[in-house]
Structure 1
């Protein structure tokens, strides 16, 4: 098996070199946000200002180009990779739309509960079919920032994050002969650490929030960004497809964290059923409907989690997998 023989070769670059470059990419990515008044977080300048959005996009584009150039140089000069092999390691080419569709299906299974709530309970299905909300979102600077280049809360978004922490960082670790498991569980930590500076930003914009709560928020953010990173690294190794994880990242940004408690179909703090109706038929009908929707949501949520576990390997299998052994035979 070619993957096994490849994994047994001596490292092309030292593991410390791969780690150093990964940290360097993280620094190159974050530091530019603090070098300019147009991108630096402050109480005076809103992140939603078009000038701020354009400046942040320019900053991440510059950082991404520099990191991409360094990675291509290392892959070609030290890894002796041909242009075709470089594109393969970066997950840029070949592109399998079938693998991409399978990845999105897998993520949709995981988010079956939230999809049910947003599409059926809240009536969003008709807008999804028409594509009106997608058009409205992507036609604005704010929507383009959040879902494509730079995320509203994280200062960056799916394209640049997946390019840096998957497409560039993972091939370096492959050259250093890290195992598949090491790559899956190590490389996302760079991704998580890159969000650590948000503690400073949050304290700046929310000075009245207790430090403990701010730290707790940052720890939680580090946890869920790392969890997504584990999944994204796994899919990238299994499919060798950058497009798949960019779209999966965008999907997760749209859906947000799933609901794990509370009723669906009602707003927080609002009584179920019309005000003043007590326990008449209309009020009871509305409450019964909410209870039924809530029960269905949690059943679908659990079923989606089980389905994700069962289909994780079947739906990520691909002939374009990167040369890393994930399961020893």
Structure 2
């Protein structure tokens, strides 16, 4: 690129010099009124061309000498800080016996959940404060602009609504199965399906604390670090979720603690599968975050996806029929009820309708991915 600009620079200088030499020789060779008139006309036209040439010369000169602004931090620094944030989020979960699951202590025990929520919230506070200071000091900007890069401000209520609507389109099949086939739409209208899970610590972790803390660290902070390093938006979409996926690999160790005699192949398959779908979700969340610039939009989408779970990709549509309540085991913790259910298959028509709606939802989702994520708050353009 620099060699090309250099050649354009030299060509322009040579052209200007030739025009000036031609002008002087043309004026010197003519005498008489008629010839002088012709020379004057040529002089005017040549001066105009020369002026245009000088403008072009200056533009070429500016293009040749103009340099891209340096990134605020290097790529290596961005990667190292991202790894540090990931470790700070995960490692404290296993530093205490109070938060380390075992065959006699479930990860769903209220004491474990409470300790872990405090640990990850502390990690979020430390990482956010450090990244906020780094943006202000390196970028020589205000704290309000730094909050803008972190996606905390503006709130983006329209972006939240559009993001949830887009995600709901993708989950049309799930919404049909649960809402229509199983008849849960009545509970949705009364907000019962939202309120009941939040009365238990497991629901609070899955739908509130988890989405908030994970999106703060793995979207707001890590994406901001990569933007400061001037990494391309496409690379950020596909690379930054790897930290998010790796952060879930610790569930292999967690599952091994609680299921010591489970086959190694089962544990590896479970971990690889979890890494895969968390990474895929991370691609979507990172794209959504860069396009909308709203941290609260991706938090809402994350919570919605946790509520839905993975949609059915095979098998017939079934209905969960409650049988009797059971007790979730814990160690020296308050007990809270769960339910055993029996699955009952519905008619084949429900299954056909489900898969048609599932595919239709995916097609519409893909067609509306760019229009519904367009926002003036976008952090990057693709």
TM-score, L = length of structure 2: 0.74
Tell me the equivalent position of 1:110: 170
TM-score, with normalisation over the residues of structure 1? 0.86
Residues 113 and 202, structure 2, Cα contact 8 Å, conserved in 1: yes
**Residue 97 of structure 1, CA deviation:** 1.1
Q: Which residue of 1 aligns with 2:363?
A: 306
1:91 is aligned, of 148, 151, 154, to 151
More relative contact order, 1 or 2 (CA 8 Å, 6+ apart):
1
| Contact 1:179/1:325 (<8 A) preserved | no
By how many angstroms is 1:47 displaced? Answer: 2.3
Deviation string, structure 1 residues 51-88 (Cα, Å, up to 9, x no partner):
22211111111111111111111111112231111111
Q: How does 1:1-329 map to 2 (within 5 A)?
A: 8-149=68-209, 157-266=210-319, 290-322=347-379, 324-326=380-382
Instruction: Give the whole-Å Cα distance in 2 for the aligned partners of 1:208 and 1:302.
Output: 40
Moved more, 28-37 or 74-83: 74-83
* Counterpart secondary structure, 2:144: helix
Kept after mapping to 1: 8 A contact 2:252/2:268: yes
Question: Is the Cα–Cα contact under 8 Å of residues 75 and 81 in structure 1 kept in the other structure?
Answer: yes
- The runs of 5 or more residues in structure 2 that have no matched partner are 1-66, 322-343
Aligned residues: 294
* Equivalent position of 2:51 in the other structure: none
Contact 2:181 2:319 in 1 (8 A): no
Q: Is the 8 A contact 1:92 1:241 kept in 2?
A: yes
* 1:138-186 deviation digits (Å, cap 9, x = unpaired): 132221112111xxxxxxx100000000011111111100001011001
Q: Is the 8 A contact 2:132 2:147 kept in 1?
A: no
2:318 aligns to what SS in structure 1?
Answer: coil
How many angstroms does 1:48 deviate by? 2.6
* Separation of aligned partners in 2, 1:201 and 1:66: 25
Deviates more, 1:304-313 or 1:133-142: 133-142
CA contact (8 A) 1:265 1:290 kept: no
SS in 1 for 2:249: coil
Identify which range, 192-201 or 46-55, moves more after superposition: 46-55
Is the radius of gyration larger for structure 1 or structure 2? Answer: 2
Unpaired runs of 5+ residues, structure 1, are 1-6, 150-156, 269-285
* Superposed displacement of residue 34, structure 1: 1.2
SS state of the match for residue 307, structure 1? helix
1:232 partner SS: helix
User: 1:266, 1:290 within 8 Å by CA — same for their partners in 2?
Assistant: no
Structure 1, residues 94-137: CA drift from partner, whole Å, max 9, x if none? Answer: 11211110000000000000000000000110100100121111
Two-structure CA RMSD over aligned residues (Å): 1.7
In terms of fraction of residues, the more strand-rich structure is 2
Q: CA offset at residue 231 of structure 1? A: 0.5
After TM superposition, where is structure 1 displaced by more than 4 Å over at least 4 residues in a row?
none
